[in-house]
Structure formats: C-alpha cells, structure tokens
C-alpha cells in the first residue's frame, strides 16, 4: 500500500518493491525493498526528474530527514528524491541476528549475505527504476559506500543514469582489503594526532580509561564487553566533521568516584554502548570487508591482520610506556563478534564470509574508461574512511569524471556542508563551473 504524508515543506510517500534475492535467478526467492519518495510541497504535482540516494555503510538505511535537512533541500529544488533503504537495511527485509537464523545455519547465512554487496544493490536500483520512472534514467547520489555502488552502476548499467554524483566514495578499482587497510592505519594515526593537538588533555584521559579496561572486566548495561581495543575503536568518530569534539566531550566525564573507588560513569557507559553497538546495523560488521572482495583471495579479517604491522596501535604496549594511546577507525575485527551481543550469534557466519574465495569483480575498467555519463566526485583531502590516493587513481580511470578535492570537509561533507556540496557537484556534471 502506498501512503503519502507531509512534513514541513515536503510530501513523503512510502514505496515498497519486491526484487529477486539473486538477480541471476529472477524466478527464485524474493526480498522486499523500502524507499521513501520525497518532493517539495510546492512541486508535488509537477513532473520532475528523479534522484536516487545511495547511503554509506554498508548496512545503513537511508537518512531519516525531517523536512529539507542537509543536502536534501538543494536536491528538492529540481528533483523528486528516492531515499532507498538498501537490501538488508532500514525498512527493507532485515538481515540481523534475529532474522538470519531463518536461513539455516552459518553456512546458509553466509551464502545469503553474498547477495548484499554493491552489485546486487545496483541491480535492485535498475529493477525499481523501471517502476519509479517508467524507464527513464535518473541521477544517483552516492555517499561513501554509496559511491562504491555508483562506480559499480557506471560499470554495469550506465544506461540507467542521467548523471552521477559521488561524495567521499571513489573506491580503488583493484585494491585488496589488505591494501585498503595498509593505507588506512597511517591516516587514522594522523587523525588521532590532530585530535590530541586540539585537545591535549585527552592524552591522559584516554590512557587512564584504557588502563582501567586492561585491569578490569567491564560489561556495559546492554551486555557489550568493553575492552581496551573496543574503546580504541571509538576513533571512528574522528572521520566526521564534529567527531573530534564529540570524542572530547565523551572522555571528559568518563570516571566517577564510588564507595568502591573510581569507576566508569553510567553516563559514559550509556553513550559508549550507543556508539559501539552494531544492533542497528549488523551488516556493517558482517560484510564490510567483503565490499573489497573481487577475486579468489579471501579478506580473512584483513583489518586485524594488517593492524599487527602497526604495533603503535597496541594499547598494552603503549601503556607500558608514556606515549599517547592511538584510537582506530573504520575497521572491523573478529573480537567485535565476542564483545557485542548483537554480533555474537553471527561469529561463525562472519568467519565463513571472511574465508570466501569466490568473490566476483565489482568494477569494469574498460567500460569506465569509455564512460559517457556525466560524473562528479568530492574527494576529501585525507579522508579517514576512503584513501585519497586510491580515489584519485579511480577518478583518472573514469572517462569524463570531474573531481572536487577539498580539505574544507571531512567524510560527512555532504551532510555537514548543507546544500553547498551537492550544488557544486551538480554544477560540475553540467560544466557550469
């Protein structure tokens, strides 16, 4: 059933679609997709071109805007916007610890999750585009992992696109996950150094918290086991525009005096569990490294293995000396499936995904070299989540792609920059700047 309703300045419509789980088997099992159509109130009766938004992740549903927040207001000046909950996320058929056992055991769950990468998401887009636009091509806006999906779109179905806009999401076309994380850890270290330069008082605070966690078994109210490594993973905040400030405010109220001595405060624990839990987005943990799989090489817990090449991230070794504790960033580790109650039942499934050796290529270099779709990409200088050098190499490999390289924004520039980022990138696709 299609339902429309209003928020300030916009009309929203719930859209539901049925697509094959495996697009190579269109007569087989199906799953449901949800998307929210958004149009400006004063344009609700007009024929407008479409823009489909592909969220970052993997594993996150589309943004739940209220009104015309962030980039949406700019888009609504000329488009109807489709905010797609990619398969397995949001209001689409979910994939989590509660639903995946319906598939069977870990082997069946792992097989199922191979259909949740960029290639399947793009084929979903093509399947629903015909229903939404009547077959007309649309513009795609891909943020972060949504940009990875967009490059796959350009590789496999460019006829479906009028233009493509990518923000912080130009992937390497051929890097293994190991290459991605070898490039990532030095970037993460730079972000941590910048944080401590801004907030030098946090050096001692972070060391004190990690030292407490090495000496105590701390279980958060939701059952999450907070280890020193888990605490370090809060560094993922440092890739966002306000992340350094959020981390600082979190650290400043970590401890409280109790009859048993100093303990981690309830307020600190409550905020940390919200930041670390994967209950709302388990696919992020399950298939994150799989988004880099393109050949017979397993990802094999790449971030964990590569971290061993950077001993400065070892909390125990750091605390044995007097150096600053290094946080980590957008990395998934096997211990997360022990610490997080939302992931524990999926540990064996995750192991099987990490061991897979049958990943299919996601990008077609020859087709990208012959690209005719207008494309523009924002590349954020020293982006913590996506390597700048990898992004620029890919930009050179896509015919006609125009880049906007900037250090004005972090990875979330399309949100933090309001209408400016989308406005500039759309102008680039039209040769207006």
Would you name the residues annotated as active-site residues? 144, 358, 411
Joined together, the tokens standing for residue 196 give 């401590």
Report the alpha-carbon distance of residue 5 to residue 329 in Å, rounded: 39
Q: Which two tokens stand for residue 256?
A: 């409280």
SS (H, E, C) 84-141: EECCECCCCCECCCCCHHHHCCHHHHHHHHCCCCHHHHHHHHHHHHHHHHCCCCEEEE
**3-state DSSP assignment of residue 257:** strand
**Which one-letter DSSP state was computed for residue 302?**
H
Rounded to the nearest 5 percent, the helix, strand and coil shares of the chain are: 45, 20, 40
Tell me the C-alpha distance between 160 and 362, whole Å: 17
- Give the residue from 431, 47, 412, 18 showing the smallest Cα distance to 242: 412
Cross-strand partners of 6: 11
Distance separating alpha carbons of residues 359 and 116, to the nearest angstrom: 12
H or E stretch at 264: strand 261-264
3-state class (DSSP) for residue 233: helix
In sequence order, which ranges of 157-215 are alpha helices (DSSP H)? 177-198, 201-215
Residue 139 tokens read as: 């513009």
Q: List C-alpha distances in Å: 23 to 127, 257, 359.
A: 9, 58, 16
Cα 136 from Cα 179, distance rounded (Å) = 38
Residue 6: DSSP 8-state: E
Q: How far apart are CA 431 and CA 433, in angstroms?
A: 6
Separate counts of helices (H) and strands (E) for the chain? 18, 13
272 and 223 Cβ atoms separated by less than 8 Å: no
Question: Using CA atoms, how far apart are residues 42 and 62, in angstroms rounded to an integer?
Answer: 24
């Amino acid at each position: 059933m299609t339902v429309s309703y209003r928020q300030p300045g916009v009309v929203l419509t719930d859209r539901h679609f049925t697509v094959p789980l495996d697009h190579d088997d269109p007569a087989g099992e199906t799953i449901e997709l949800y998307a929210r159509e958004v149009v400006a109130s004063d344009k609700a009766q007009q024929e407008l071109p479409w823009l489909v938004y592909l969220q970052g992740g993997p594993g996150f549903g589309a943004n739940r805007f209220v009104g015309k927040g962030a980039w949406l207001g700019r888009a609504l000046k000329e488009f109807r916007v489709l905010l797609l909950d990619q398969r397995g996320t949001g209001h689409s058929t979910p994939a989590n610890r509660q639903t995946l056992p319906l598939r069977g055991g870990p082997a069946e769950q792992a097989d199922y999750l191979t259909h949740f990468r960029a290639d399947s998401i793009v084929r979903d887009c093509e399947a629903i585009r015909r229903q939404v636009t009547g077959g007309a091509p649309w513009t795609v806006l891909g943020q972060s992992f949504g940009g990875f999906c967009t490059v796959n779109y350009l590789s496999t179905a460019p006829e479906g696109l009028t233009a493509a806009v990518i923000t912080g999401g130009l992937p390497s076309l051929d890097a293994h996950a190991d290459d991605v994380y070898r490039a990532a850890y030095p970037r993460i270290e730079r972000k941590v150094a910048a944080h401590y330069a801004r907030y030098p008082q946090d050096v001692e605070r972070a060391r004190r918290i990690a030292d407490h966690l090495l000496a105590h078994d701390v279980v958060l109210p939701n059952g999450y086991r907070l280890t020193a490594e888990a605490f370090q993973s809060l560094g993922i905040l440092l890739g966002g525009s306000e992340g350094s400030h959020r981390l600082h405010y979190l650290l400043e109220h970590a401890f409280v005096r109790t009859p048993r001595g100093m303990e981690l405060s309830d307020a600190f624990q409550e905020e940390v569990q919200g930041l670390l839990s994967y209950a709302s987005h388990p696919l992020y943990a399950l298939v994150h490294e799989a988004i880099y799989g393109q050949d017979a090489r397993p990802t094999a817990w790449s971030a964990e293995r590569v971290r061993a090449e950077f001993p400065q991230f070892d909390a125990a070794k750091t605390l044995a000396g007097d150096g600053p504790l290094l946080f980590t960033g957008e990395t998934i580790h096997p211990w997360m499936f022990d610490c997080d109650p939302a992931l524990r039942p999926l540990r064996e499934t995750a192991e099987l995904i990490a061991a897979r050796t049958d990943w299919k290529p996601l990008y077609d270099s020859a087709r990208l070299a012959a690209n005719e779709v207008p494309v523009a990409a924002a590349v954020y200088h020293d982006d913590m989540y996506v390597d700048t050098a990898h992004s620029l190499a890919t930009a050179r490999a896509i015919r006609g792609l125009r880049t906007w390289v900037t250090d004005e924004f972090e990875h979330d520039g399309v949100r933090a920059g309001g209408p400016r980022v989308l406005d500039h990138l759309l102008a680039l696709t039209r040769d207006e700047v």
